[in-house]
Each structure stands twice: as C-alpha cells, then as structure tokens.
Structure 1
C-alpha cells in the first residue's frame, strides 16, 4: 500500500512499533483511552485533533507524521509543487536590495495584496501560491528602497502576504515552510508600525503550536499578544476588538487540546463579549486599513467556535446541536464556513448520523474544495464512513478517491 493510502490509525500503529511501545504503553504515555487507541488503529473510530496531538507528543514526532501530511500526490495532481518551489525561492530574500528597480508602486501593488487576502478567505490555495512569490519579490524590494511611512506600508503588505501563504502551508502540512513564513512575518510585522500586525503574527505563531503539541507555549504567545493590544481593546478600537476576539478563540481551541474545558469555555465567553462590543460582523473590508488587512470577527465566528470547542472536548451531541444553530450571513468567508462543515461532519459521525456527516462533507467540498481536500479531519471522517458502510455509495466512493482514502 502506498503512503498516500495508509490510514491515520495505521500510521499511529507503525510509529508506536518504531518506538517499541505496546498499545497500553502508548495509551498510558499519551494519557488517552486504551480502548479508543485500539479502535483508532483498526479504523473503527476517527482520531480527534487532541488525540493525535497527545499521541504525537508522546512519541516526540510532529502531528503531521500521523496525519500523513504533506499530501504529495494531491499537490502534484493539483499542480501546486511548482508554485510552492517559487514561494520558497521568494522567501530567500527579505532584507536586501537587489539590482532590479521596482516596476510598480505601493498603490499599484496594494489591490493585488488585497486579492490575496480575499483568496485566503476563499481558501483558494492555488491562486495564492501562483501569485504570492512575485508580489513578495516586489514588496521586499520596495521595503528596502523606500523610507519612513512608505517602507512601513511595504512591510504592512508583506505581513498580509506572508499570512496568506502561511495559511496555505499549514493546510498542506508543510511544517518547515510555515516556520520560514512565520520568521518573515515577524520581521515585517516589527517594522510596519502597526501593533495589530504584530498581534496577527502572534496569532499565527500560536496556530503553529498545534503541529508540535506545545499548547502551553501557544497560550503564552496569545496572552502576550492580548497584553500588547489591551489599550486598543479598552478603547473599543474595532481593529483591536477583532484581533482580541480571534486571539481568544484560538486560546479556546488550544485549551481543548489540553482537555481544559473551563479555560476553553471561558475564552469563548470572552470572545462573545468582544463580539457584543463590536456589535456587527466584520470581514475586514470595512476597516480603515486601506485594504482587507484586519482579522474578520463577529458573533458568527463565536458561534462556530462554540460548537468546535464542544466537538474537541468530546461532547459530540452538543456540538452537533450547536452547529445546527449557526446562521452564516451573506458574504461570510468560505474558509471558515468550510471548516465549520468539516467539524460538523465529525460531530454527526460520532453521534451515529452517517448520512448527516456525508452531507456536511459535501457542503464543505462545495464551499471550500481545496481546504476540504487537504484537511486531515476530512480523511478521518471519510475513512470511518467507509469502515462503517456495508455497501458504499457512489458518492462515498468518489469522495474517498478524491481525498485519497483507501476503500
């Protein structure tokens, strides 16, 4: 069987044996149920994100080793390999002036960066990878040849580009590329004269700790970011409120990975309060940043995360009920809607609603196809549906092939 077709359970079993651990030994070291580990290894139960994080940490490996990321064959099929190489090449330079003179001005480049931000919200990975490298080259050159406020604006735009590319790299499971993009993001965020871009960098840095299992570090990063923007939050600056709301929601998910239900729900409550302060849905376009550079936030995002937190804490029935209550407004980012349906599919699967789980996965595919294809939870859910199905339907078979799950 090719690496592409190995299940997550099979990978856990393989790494467990490499570490010379019995099932009971790994369960004890990871502080997970032996019964659940057994079921995950044979494919009768999907592995939750917190379960994977615990097993990976117990064996001192990245979570991506267990999920099978990066999905190289899919990247090749989707023609992402060449653009990924171009992105890596563009990241080589971040602080030097090259001989070539900038061909365009900041005003000419800004709409293209805004398009990349919107592509991130639409989960259009190929679009981001195809256009970001050239934009990064242009903006690095401008950041080194301009001075004062104009140089800051170049770095401001670079932060948004790096963030869009980092979302793609994280989704594809390219841990090394995420680290490199975060380093570049840190460099420009500290030079753009905008404390909220530093908060955005820290938000993304905390996100990367999901891969390593350093959730306590992620929590500390978020607390630092919140302290930095506290004055803006207290003044009800909408950009600060949006940043703080997203940081609180990220802290909530980090807490679920540590099985800390009280902290997770407390962070969601803080985010809900911030959404009330904001009083509207913000997608970034209407903030006074000159382009879609702020983090979107509002009651919908809080509602989505409320269901996700219960999902991660193992309260699957409650999560499914909360997911049903989410009402997505027009124009809401497909990236978040797709993720919501992916989480809802898992909740429905674990409450025995296999048909509902499949319906949610189909919705996710329609709304955010690239995000859905590369999301490891989708593979887990589909693999469990295949395992539970006596007679797989054509739609299940087709979906399984599309995401690379062995029938």
Structure 2
C-alpha cells in the first residue's frame, strides 16, 4: 500500500524542526503559520501549500525540496525562475531602476546567497538572485572608484557564482557559461588575485560540460602560476582548490601523472588549513578526501579501490556543505557500481538524495547510474523504479 505523501512531508518537517531544536509552537510563531496548521501538517492531516512550505523551510533553514522529498514540483519551480534570471543577465550593464541598500546589507544578502549555494538550496537562489543581481549592478553604477567599488565587484562575483550554481545544475549550460564570463568581468574590478583564482576554479565547469579536459587543465595550471604564493590561510586555500580541481580534470583527460601530482599538492595545502569556506569555495582535508574519490572515478581501473578504501574508513562530517557531502556519495556510488557492487551503489545514491535532493536529482551521473542499476537488477524492482522516476531517468 503506498504511503500517503502528506505523511512523508509531515515527517520531514517534524524531523527538520527537531533538528533545529524547536517546538511546534516556536515554529508556528517564527513562520507565521498557525499552530494548528503546523500540528496538522506534521501528523499528515494536511498538505502544505507552496507559501506555507516556503515559510516553514525559511525558519528551519532548509530548502523546500528537502521537505517535499519526491512529492513536490521544486524542479519545475526552479525552471520557472530561469527566464527572469536570463533577463537580468542580458541587461547586466543596464539594470532596472530601483533602490540600493547600504553596503553592509548587500554584503549580508550575498553571504546568505553563498550559504544557499553551498547548502544546495537552488530554489531559494533561483527566486532571490535576479533581484539581488539587479541591485548589485545599480550599486556598481553608483560608485566610480575606490574600495567601495572593489567590494561591490567582489559581491557581484559571489552573486554571479550563486546564480551559476542553479544554471549549471539544472542544465542551462549556455547561461552558465555566460555567468562565468560575467564573473571574470566583475573580478577585474575587484582587483583581488584570490578572487581571480576562485573564478578560474568555477570556470572549469565550462570545460567539464564541453568535455574539453586538456584546455581545462591548461587553464587551471595557468591560474596556479598566477595565484598568490604567500603563506596566509586564504592564499594556501586558493592554491589548494586549484590543485584539487586540476587533479580531477587531469584524471578525466587521462593524464594520470599530472592528476596524482595535483592531488598531492592539494593534500599538502589541506594539511595547512582547517576545513572551511575560502572566497566562497569549501576547502580543507575533508574536501580533499572527497576529491580523491572523484579522482579515483576519473582514472578508473585499479584506482577505484582507493575510493572504496576511503569510504570504508571515513564518511564526510555533517558540518561539511550539503553539496559536497552528496557529491561524495554520488561519486562513491559510481565507483561501487564499476567495482561490481550494485547494492552498495544504490545505497550511496539514496544517501546522496537524503542529504541534498535537488543536487542529486539534477546530477547527470545519478540518472546514468540508476538506469544501469535497473538493467543489472530486475527492472520492475519498485525501489529502483521509484528512484529512477524521481530523478527522471525513465
């Protein structure tokens, strides 16, 4: 007998509330949703509408997709926001008239968008980022030089990157490439070599999407030549992130020696800094382990055992960003599948889904691997078929 979706959503909201250490009354008061409505939703008697779900998710600090599981239309809601994002990008140098908040408020708004990005909260980004980009463009128009203009340019880079996370994850590759170019444009006004390294890191997405691995590796190595060499944490992390990504793209290019050299350099950088967010990029020892798994998948063959060994002795901590943690299990699932462990692979994909449903659902490898699992197993297995239907692999 199928489970009532109202019950599933209610359970998700209750679990998120308990994790936030809130009572039903506190959640109701903070969200503006009536106490009786919260109680009814949690016990499965009511299905929340979009506005109620968004209000609850905002208080709980999660994306609505995480509360909906596979019963919502979050993906279509993200796609509905893309035309407005495209409009803002097309008119990046001719923003609509409107107010501009003080710099400290703009800074806080961008920091919130960065938090949504690393937490894989794409619906929130898709809804909020177009107006923020318009406002930042007006702010840039309003200052001609000096430290304030450089900071606005830095904020624009971070906001463009948040927008790119949505475009790239949801398959708008041309829009993503345009956003990366706007990041590069804005970075010139920031006059910050650390930001240049960040942009080079993000630009690699366009090389991955085009499977242009050799030029992508050359671009990263050129960025490494220009990266700051001072021993500060931010500078070490900037070099480490470039080495980390260079290792993976070198692996996909079939350059094993270069890949292993870059992951060794990334590991040395990671040994010098704690796990954290540096210039908008998560870096540290845990991130490097996750990229080691990614590299093992890129190289394949005898290297797959390295991915399995890492997973046997280590799991990404809950303090790590949702996108990084779900990415670990997606990569691990592929390694397990290729190593002849289909049951373990499916378990890894289910974990990835629980951690970051939007990120997992839109990941091309997830669709490919669940389709392979259905071929290897019985195609009519309900759990595999449900997962395949959820990520639109069938």
How would you bin the TM-score normalised by the shorter chain?
0.7 to 0.9
Using the alignment, how far apart are the partners of 1:399 and 1:329 within structure 2? 25
Which of 330, 333, 344 is the equivalent residue of 1:342?
Answer: 330
Q: Which residue of 1 aligns with 2:176?
A: 178
Shift of 1:246: 1.0
Q: 2:194, 2:235 within 8 Å by CA — same for their partners in 1?
A: yes
Q: 1:156, 1:189 within 8 Å by CA — same for their partners in 2?
A: yes
Using the alignment, how far apart are the partners of 1:324 and 1:305 within structure 2? 16
Is residue 2:105 matched to residue 1:108? yes
Q: Which residue of 2 aligns with 1:95?
A: 93
Instruction: Provide the TM-score with structure 2 as the length reference.
Output: 0.77
Instruction: Provide the TM-score with structure 1 as the length reference.
Output: 0.75
Root-mean-square deviation (CA, aligned residues, Å) is: 1.9
Q: Which residue of 1 aligns with 2:80?
A: 82
After TM superposition, the structure 1 = structure 2 runs for residues 60-75 of structure 1, keeping only pairs within 5 Å, are none
Using the alignment, how far apart are the partners of 1:230 and 1:270 within structure 2? 15
Using the alignment, how far apart are the partners of 2:180 and 2:212 within structure 1? 16
Which of 243, 250, 253 is the equivalent residue of 1:255?
Answer: 250
Which structure's relative contact order is higher, taking Cα pairs within 8 Å and 6+ residues apart?
1
Using the alignment, how far apart are the partners of 1:77 and 1:162 within structure 2? 20
After TM superposition, the structure 1 = structure 2 runs for residues 13-24 of structure 1, keeping only pairs within 5 Å, are none
Q: How many residues in Structure 1 have an aligned counterpart in Structure 2?
A: 320
Using the alignment, how far apart are the partners of 2:180 and 2:162 within structure 1? 11
Which of 255, 274, 277 is the equivalent residue of 1:283?
Answer: 277
User: Alpha-carbon deviations, 1:362-389, whole Å to 9, x = none?
Assistant: 1100101001001010011100110011
Q: Which residue of 1 aligns with 2:18?
A: none
Using the alignment, how far apart are the partners of 1:318 and 1:277 within structure 2? 23
Q: Which residue of 2 aligns with 1:136?
A: 133
Shift of 1:93: 2.6
User: Alpha-carbon deviations, 1:267-296, whole Å to 9, x = none?
Assistant: 100000101122x21234xxxxxxxx4422
Using the alignment, how far apart are the partners of 1:113 and 1:271 within structure 2? 28
Is residue 2:265 matched to residue 1:266? no
Shift of 1:391: 6.1
After TM superposition, the structure 1 = structure 2 runs for residues 3-402 of structure 1, keeping only pairs within 5 Å, are 78-96=76-94, 100-147=97-144, 148-231=146-229, 235-278=230-273, 280-284=274-278, 293-314=279-300, 315-390=303-378, 392-402=380-390
Shift of 1:88: 0.7
Q: 1:344, 1:357 within 8 Å by CA — same for their partners in 2?
A: yes
Q: 1:304, 1:326 within 8 Å by CA — same for their partners in 2?
A: no
Using the alignment, how far apart are the partners of 1:76 and 1:112 within structure 2? 23
Shift of 1:256: 1.0
Using the alignment, how far apart are the partners of 2:87 and 2:95 within structure 1? 16
Q: 1:239, 1:294 within 8 Å by CA — same for their partners in 2?
A: no
Using the alignment, how far apart are the partners of 2:83 and 2:213 within structure 1? 30
Gaps of 5+ in 2: 1-71
Change (3 A) 1:304 1:76: closer
Shift of 1:353: 1.7
Gaps of 5+ in 1: 1-73, 285-292
